[in-house]
Structure 1
Amino acid sequence: MKARLDILQVCLLRLFSIFLLAGCDTSVGSTQPEYISGIDVSSYQEQINWTQVYGGGVRFAYIKATESDTLTDPQFMANWSGSDKSGVIRGAYHFFTQGVSGAAQAAYFLSVIRATDAGDRGALPPALDVEGLSGAELKEAKAEIAVWLKTVEAALNCTPVIYTSPDTWDEEFPGDFTNYGLWLADYTSETQLPTGWTSWLFWQYSDSGTVDGIATPVSLDRFSGRELDLRLTTCVGW
């Protein structure tokens, strides 16, 4: 009986060791953490072969949905459906337009994504793309950004992320909105965070990458975790 127990203990220890090693990077000389690869796309990329995209190692994609309060990206629905069918985890983003009501922009974004199956299947947190704003009306823009974020968060019960670069944010809204997740746009090997943020959730590290299944240059992204972590960030019940 004791011998059987000893054998069982050895087997359990081996299984435990395998479990630990599976969660560690054991490659020789590795100094860089492993990230999940992603892209972000719009109609600029034209028609995309999402099966090839997934086959090339891409595991998530942010897809442009809307801009201002009247514009839907022409390829949004095709990209939304194609990415999901291929196995790519998807999320939608809105390009913020200065001088247009944040409430109106949020309402339009919500109307477009609610026409999809995101509520049943789950999706990455909605993203707000903030860039290229004029310095003359930044105070007004800040108020409208706040309205968009609060409106979308309340409607979807999911905290949005903000896409921005360090230079843009530190010039326009230093230290603001840092309770939201950061989708960092920074094309350097050593990331620089905008003032107030201590980490990034997504990192767009190139705007001119090449990916199987896409004929044009495409932005490349990373997620700050493993694939299971990425799946746990998705929101459901929209």
Structure 2
Amino acid sequence: MKSLVTGAAVTLGLLLAPLTGSTLATARPDAPHQPTPEARAHGITRAGEAFMGWRQSTPSTTAPTTAIAPAAMAPAATVEGIDVSSHQGNVNWASWWNAGKRFAYVKATEGNYYTNPYFAQQYNGSYNVGMIRGAYHFATPDDSSGANQANYFVDHGGGWSRDGRTLPGALDIEYNPYGATCYGKTQAGMVSWIRDFLTTYKSRTGRDAVIYTNLDWWSRCTGNSTAFNGTNPLWVARYASAPGTLPGGWPYYTFWQYSSSPIDQNRFNGDQTRLVALANG
């Protein structure tokens, strides 16, 4: 998907997405992973079902498809949004819009073996209701290169278009639901893998991908690397009343995932005009 494709409501992301309606994750039969007992306890039963913040969530907070009443107002210079994966199925986007959500990130891919079977309904449904939307990739750095996974992501819905409604893709790099926390990589090796992904993504789309992570994982697995804080927007995960200490020397967060109840809740650090500016690049 090229970076400067403009403006149709139905983008190439839809054309590349799987058909909606399936209830099964579309991981290839040879998908290389089996969930750990901890991951199974959080609702990940097969390869491909990992989702943002899985280790901080519980199965009961990953499945709602309808919204709740709007929460108390956040500070004026923020915008509220959500992120979704196959766990939410077909999402009632009008309900979430009415609850005050103005952007959404949708899981497109995992590794190089899985595409979200609900991607089309979620990605285009959020757009059609009026939200600014983006796609995310759940990384599995132990089974293929960063470049390989970035290409897989872009080829299956993770691209970008300068239409003012499409956010840059996000790299979800966090706890491994299938094995060793740091995917068997050294800190230097993990930084190299991330750089490979980000460089390839930018070469394909023209955009610097957003990095979703948390302080604990980033410190353990990258040595709290500061390599990306001047180029890639930070999406920090912390389920608390404040984002806390940011990883990697980032001076500020761009997105903050602050809750998983009743669905993953996110806040953009700026007003709607800044969110549109991020979408436009």
Q: TM-score range by the shorter chain?
A: 0.7 to 0.9
Matches within 5 A, 1:64-143: 64-99=107-142, 100-113=144-157, 118-119=160-161, 121=163, 122-133=165-176, 134-135=181-182, 136-138=184-186, 139-143=188-192
Q: Are the counterparts in 1 of residues 112 and 149 from structure 2 also a CA contact under 8 Å? A: yes
Verify: 1:223 aligned to 2:268, yes or no.
Answer: yes
Q: 1:54-83: per-residue Cα shift (whole Å, max 9, x none)?
A: 111100001101110121111111111111
TM-score, normalised to structure 2, is 0.65
Give secondary structure in 2 for the equivalent of 1:110.
Answer: helix
Residue in structure 2 matching 1:189, options 238, 241, 248: 241
Residue in structure 1 matching 2:103, options 35, 55, 60: 60
Matches within 5 A, 1:44-55: 44-55=87-98
Give secondary structure in 2 for the equivalent of 1:184.
Answer: strand
Which residue of structure 1 lines up, in the alignment, with residue 253 of structure 2? 200
Which residue of structure 1 lines up, in the alignment, with residue 225 of structure 2? 175
Q: Are the counterparts in 1 of residues 162 and 280 from structure 2 also a CA contact under 8 Å? A: no
Deviation at 1:33, TM superposition (A): 4.8
Which residue of structure 1 lines up, in the alignment, with residue 278 of structure 2? 233
Q: 1:106-131: per-residue Cα shift (whole Å, max 9, x none)?
A: 111111127x8x52634111100001
What is the letter of the counterpart of residue 48 of structure 1?
V
Give secondary structure in 1 for the equivalent of 2:122.
Answer: helix
Greater than 6 Å deviation, 4+ residue runs:
none
Q: Are the counterparts in 2 of residues 60 and 90 from structure 1 also a CA contact under 8 Å? A: yes
Unpaired segments ≥5 residues, structure 1: 1-29, 211-217
Residue in structure 2 matching 1:153, options 169, 191, 202: 202
Q: Give percent identity, aligned residues only.
A: 38
Which residue of structure 1 lines up, in the alignment, with residue 33 of structure 2? none
**Larger strand share, 1 or 2:** 1
Q: State the aligned residue count.
A: 197
Which residue of structure 2 lines up, in the alignment, with residue 20 of structure 1? none
Q: Are the counterparts in 2 of residues 158 and 235 from structure 1 also a CA contact under 8 Å? A: no
Q: 1:110-159: per-residue Cα shift (whole Å, max 9, x none)?
A: 11127x8x526341111000011434313433322111101101211111
TM-score, normalised to structure 1, is 0.77
The 10-residue stretch of structure 1 (92-101 or 168-177) with the greater mean CA deviation from structure 2: 168-177
Q: Provide closer, same or farther for how the CA distance between residues 165 and 120 of structure 1 changes in structure 2, counting only shifts above 3 A.
A: closer
When Rg is computed on C-alpha atoms for both structures, the one with the higher figure is 1
Verify: 1:163 aligned to 2:206, yes or no.
Answer: no
Deviation at 1:219, TM superposition (A): 0.5
